[in-house]
């Protein structure tokens, strides 16, 4: 019996390790990775951009498993002008990521959930500061949508489809929400969700700066502890740029990017890995990154 129990434990650990490896989010594609309740995660990532004279962006993140199906992560970024040495550095944007795992279907082969990613403008304003464009937006943003995974043997297919609410230059992103229950206009404007009412969060003119994002990725655990992956990413703005100040070469403005990425990760254990990635842009515009190299490390405990 002791031998059988050891074999069972070993098989279970191996299965969990493979599952975690295949589900870890990739640079341009979110996955169904869900932190177990009561656990934490630390993330360090460094990206090197080749446009202009070169830039570097550091990302530091911490995640929390709130309950079994719900987890949250907070990301902080720091921007550097030039690499390998930095000529100047500033604080970048801050992100809060909320993820809810919905469940599975098709005998567990298909799994999905919903993601909300909040960007807070702690970095330079991309509308007025050319230097740090495409590294920080400096305005509010909210990304919402489903994330799905389909497993076919040792292959894992990942898909994202997001709607991104983007703040125009300092327009007051959350001013369109009406949450005071004591005020009549809160109900007239349906808490800010009445798209026919002027000034609400969903009012048509406030949505002209929004865009959609879609991405697909493929990885495999056949070579575990190495996990290779490839991905494609595209986004598209809904309305034409009409305001001169919005005519800037960034995603969601004058650039509708098409990105191709590839990378690999090595899992030192079930909850620790390091990875490297490369991204190439099929859209070439001045001041827009053509190539990006990234390195990362994550630890869950």
- In tens, the pLDDT along 127-137 reads 999 889 899 99
**Position 18 confidence tier, pLDDT thresholds 50, 70, 90:** very low
Instruction: Give the DSSP H/E element, type plus range, for residue 149.
Output: strand 141-152
Q: For residue 189, is it within any domain?
A: no
Q: For residue 174, is it within any domain?
A: no
Residue 143, beta-bridge partner list: 117, 164
pLDDT surpasses 60 at 160 = yes
pLDDT surpasses 80 at 87 = no
> ∠ CA 160-162-166 to the nearest 5 degrees?
150
Q: For residue 109, is it within any domain?
A: yes
User: Which CATH number fits the domain that encloses residue 221?
Assistant: 2.40.160.40
Q: For 185-222, write each residue's pLDDT tens digit.
A: 888 889 888 888 888 899 888 898 999 999 999 999 99
Q: What is the pTM of this model?
A: 0.89
**Position 273 confidence tier, pLDDT thresholds 50, 70, 90:** very high
Domain of residue 114, residue span: 2-168+208-300
Q: For residue 53, is it within any domain?
A: yes
pLDDT at 22: 60
Q: For residue 153, is it within any domain?
A: yes
Q: For residue 111, is it within any domain?
A: yes
In 7-154, the DSSP E strands lie at: 40-49, 55-67, 70-81, 88-105, 110-120, 141-152
pLDDT surpasses 80 at 24 = no
Q: For residue 184, is it within any domain?
A: no
How many structural domains are present in the chain?
Answer: 1
Q: Mean pLDDT across the chain, nearest whole number?
A: 89
């Amino acid at each position: 019996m002791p031998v059988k129990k050891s074999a069972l434990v070993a098989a279970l650990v191996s299965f969990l390790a493979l599952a975690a490896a295949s589900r870890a989010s990739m640079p341009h594609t979110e996955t169904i990775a869900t932190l177990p309740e009561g656990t934490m995660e630390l993330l360090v990532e460094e990206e090197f951009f080749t446009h202009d004279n070169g830039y570097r962006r550091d990302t530091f993140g911490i995640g929390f498993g709130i309950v079994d199906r719900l987890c949250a992560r907070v990301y902080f970024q720091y921007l550097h002008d030039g690499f390998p040495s930095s000529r100047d550095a500033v604080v970048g944007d801050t992100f809060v990521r909320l993820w809810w795992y919905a469940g599975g279907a098709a005998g567990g082969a298909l799994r999905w959930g919903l993601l909300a990613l909040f960007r807070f403008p702690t970095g330079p304003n991309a509308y007025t500061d050319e230097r740090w464009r495409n590294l920080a937006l400096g305005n509010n943003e909210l990304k919402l949508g489903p994330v799905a995974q389909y497993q076919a043997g040792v292959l894992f297919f990942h898909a994202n489809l997001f709607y991104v609410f983007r703040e125009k230059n300092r327009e007051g992103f959350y001013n369109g929400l009406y949450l005071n229950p004591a005020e009549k206009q809160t109900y007239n404007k349906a808490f800010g969700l009445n798209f026919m009412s002027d000034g609400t969060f969903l009012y048509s003119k406030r949505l002209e700066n929004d865009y959609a994002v879609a991405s697909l990725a493929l990885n495999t655990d056949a070579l575990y502890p190495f996990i290779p992956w490839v991905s494609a990413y595209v986004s598209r703005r809904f309305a034409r740029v009409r305001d001169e100040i919005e005519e800037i070469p960034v995603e969601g403005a004058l650039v509708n990017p098409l990105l191709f990425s590839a990378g690999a990760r090595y899992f030192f254990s079930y909850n620790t890995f390091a990875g490297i990635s490369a991204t190439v842009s099929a859209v070439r515009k001045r001041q827009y990154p053509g190539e990006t190299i990234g390195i990362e490390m994550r630890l869950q405990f």
